[in-house]
């Protein structure tokens, strides 16, 4: 049986920080990133692909805001915006991947699933919303929206300018809906795009009904959970650095090519990984191997083919 790998594409896979975000830019970035997955496909891996959606869902929220203010169009809730971004990004990845496969003479089916991800309605994150979404408002605008919609805002200072941005909860994912069919398709050799942007957050109420949740889910945690639930062999997070480092960008910087559970937990406890960037990725990788996965890898997309690159996280390794 072919090995099954789940690959989480980082935000820079679709949109670079210095770009406007045009469809031409995003398509080219996506194609360039997907070219690097050809190596895994030629090596016989079956693939499930996850992706980020931060800039895209932010744009959707701003379009919602402009439509309401200028034309009286009712805003859609956050769960619908996440689903909207999943469909658009998933379509783009599917189309560009089909073109990449055709270029390399590879015949494979590709399918995108808009994925709901179950969270616990009693998750502590709902009492402490921290994830910033959407545009920046003045204090007066933020106060008015809090009164009108019940939104919660926190101050944010950027480039010496103060603004107020909406914050929403980021609960832990506990189940991926449609995980059974995702696994079946992947085992049959279909490349599946799923759990994009962490998935659409939902919860199950006391009557067993699926309810929407005004929240966002960390995409690395969601794809790591998906990888574990479908019994994937390997989990990859593709980001903008070839390795994980401790003392990053300091004179005593050190790259970590191999990490086991004990060392990973030690470095996390010592605060060696930034909470705003690398620490969540490390935790996602650690959770995957703790739940039975053989190996997690964090690296740049362009380094996939060179197996000497990338930080490999396993339960144990021979030092």
Q: pLDDT tens digits, residue range 6-38?
A: 999 987 778 877 888 899 999 999 999 999 999
Residue at 173 is within a domain: no
Mean pLDDT of the chain, nearest integer: 94
Are 216 and 279 in the same domain? yes
Predicted confidence (pLDDT) at residue 230 exceeds the cutoff of 60: yes
Strand partners, 167: 132, 152
Return the pLDDT at 18: 82
Domain hosting residue 148, numbered range: 129-168
Are 157 and 32 in the same domain? no
Are 61 and 86 in the same domain? yes
Are 85 and 187 in the same domain? yes
Are 264 and 138 in the same domain? no
Return the pLDDT at 209: 98
> What pTM, to 2 d.p., does this model score?
0.95
For 246-252, what is the mean pLDDT?
90
The residue annotated as part of the active site, out of 11, 54, 88, 134, is 11
Residue at 318 is within a domain: no
Domain count, the chain: 2
Residue at 69 is within a domain: yes
223 three-class SS: helix
In 10 A of CB 192, how many CB atoms?
29
152 three-class SS: strand
Residues 72, 297: Cα–Cα separation, whole Å: 47
The CATH code of the domain that includes 112 is: 3.40.1160.10
Predicted confidence (pLDDT) at residue 318 exceeds the cutoff of 60: no
Residue at 36 is within a domain: yes
Domain boundary among 168, 198, 226: 168
Question: Which residue reads 């189940």 in tokens?
Answer: 175
- Please indicate whether residue 12 is annotated as part of the active site: yes
Residue-wise pLDDT for 74-109, tens only, equals 999 999 999 999 999 999 999 999 999 999 999 999
The helix or strand, by DSSP H or E, that contains position 118, with its residue range, turns out to be: strand 116-119
Residue at 319 is within a domain: no
The residue annotated as part of the active site, out of 12, 32, 59, 178, is 12
Return the pLDDT at 204: 97
The helix or strand, by DSSP H or E, that contains position 165, with its residue range, turns out to be: strand 161-168
Residue at 248 is within a domain: yes
Predicted confidence (pLDDT) at residue 319 exceeds the cutoff of 60: no
Are 137 and 116 in the same domain? no
- Please indicate whether residue 293 is annotated as part of the active site: no
Return the pLDDT at 1: 62
Distant-in-sequence, close-in-space partners of 111: CB < 8 Å, separation ≥ 6: 94, 185, 190, 191, 192, 193
Residue at 260 is within a domain: yes
Of 79-83, 249-253, 275-279, 301-305, the range with the highest mean pLDDT is 79-83
The residue annotated as part of the active site, out of 3, 67, 121, 131, is 131
For 277-306, what is the mean pLDDT?
95
Do residues 5 and 187 lie in contact, with contact meaning Cβ atoms separated by under 8 Å? no
Residue-wise pLDDT for 118-173, tens only, equals 999 999 999 999 999 999 999 999 999 999 999 999 999 887 788 999 999 999 99
Are 53 and 84 in the same domain? yes
Are 88 and 64 in the same domain? yes
Burial 224-245 (b: 16+ CB within 10 A, else e): bbbbbbbebbbbbbbbebbbbb
Structure tokens at 174: 């506990």
Are 39 and 8 in the same domain? yes
Are 102 and 227 in the same domain? yes
The residue annotated as part of the active site, out of 53, 90, 134, 219, is 219
Are 30 and 78 in the same domain? yes
Return the pLDDT at 87: 97
The helix or strand, by DSSP H or E, that contains position 63, with its residue range, turns out to be: helix 54-71
- Please indicate whether residue 295 is annotated as part of the active site: no
Structure tokens at 40: 């895994």
For 292-301, what is the mean pLDDT?
95
Residues 101, 103: Cα–Cα separation, whole Å: 5
- Please indicate whether residue 3 is annotated as part of the active site: no
Residue at 15 is within a domain: yes
- Please indicate whether residue 131 is annotated as part of the active site: yes
Are 35 and 153 in the same domain? no
Question: What percent of the chain has pLDDT above 70?
Answer: 98
């Amino acid at each position: 049986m072919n090995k099954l790998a789940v690959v989480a594409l980082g935000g820079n896979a679709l949109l670079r920080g210095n770009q406007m975000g045009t469809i031409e830019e995003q398509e080219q970035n996506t194609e360039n990133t997907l070219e690097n997955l050809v190596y895994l496909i030629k090596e016989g891996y079956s693939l499930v692909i996850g992706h980020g959606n931060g800039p895209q869902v932010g744009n959707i929220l701003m379009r919602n805001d402009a439509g309401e203010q200028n034309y009286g169009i009712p805003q859609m809730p956050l769960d619908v915006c996440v689903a909207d971004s999943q469909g658009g990004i998933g379509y783009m990845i599917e189309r560009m991947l089909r073109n990449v496969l055709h270029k390399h003479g590879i015949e494979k089916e590709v399918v995108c699933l808009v994925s709901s991800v179950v969270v616990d309605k009693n998750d502590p994150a709902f009492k402490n919303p921290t994830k910033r979404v959407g545009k920046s408002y003045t204090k007066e605008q933020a106060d008015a929206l809090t009164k009108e919609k019940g939104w919660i805002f926190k101050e944010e200072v950027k480039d010496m300018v103060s603004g107020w941005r909406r914050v929403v909860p980021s609960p832990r994912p506990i189940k991926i809906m449609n995980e059974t069919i995702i696994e079946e398709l992947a085992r049959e050799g279909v490349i599946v795009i799923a759990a994009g942007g962490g998935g659409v957050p939902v919860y199950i109420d006391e009557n067993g009904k699926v309810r929407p949740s005004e929240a966002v889910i960390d995409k690395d945690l969601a794809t790591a959970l998906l990888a574990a639930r479908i019994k994937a062999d390997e989990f990859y997070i593709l980001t903008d650095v070839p390795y994980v480092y401790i003392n990053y960008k300091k004179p005593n910087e050190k790259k970590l090519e191999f990490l086991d559970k004990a060392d990973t937990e030690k470095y996390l406890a010592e605060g060696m990984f930034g909470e705003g960037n690398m620490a969540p990725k490390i935790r996602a990788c650690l959770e995957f191997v703790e739940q039975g996965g053989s190996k997690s890898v964090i690296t740049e997309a362009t380094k996939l083919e060179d197996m000497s690159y990338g930080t490999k996280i396993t339960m144990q390794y021979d030092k």
